[in-house]
Structure 1
């Protein structure tokens, strides 16, 4: 199936996948936080015109 060296066992692959998912979640939350900081600094919704 896939020829990995011996040190890539099932447990180590689970750890690698878990770390990758956690890292992507942290990056996504950081980007969302920066977007909300920009929203709060502007003071109004972008794309909506209020008379």
Structure 2
């Protein structure tokens, strides 16, 4: 059951990893406009 493995892996992510995972799915053009900021380190994630 390969699908269950992926689901389990996602559930094992801690909050910081979940944040990074979701940020990686954001359209970079939008991220560049809203200047997404990491709540942990304060680093602003922008498209170069």
**Same-fold status (TM-score > 0.5):** no
More strand by share: 2
Structure index of larger Rg: 1
Normalized against structure 1, the TM-score is what? 0.30
Normalized against structure 2, the TM-score is what? 0.31
Greater length-normalized contact order (CA 8 Å, ≥ 6 residues apart): 2
More helix by share: 1
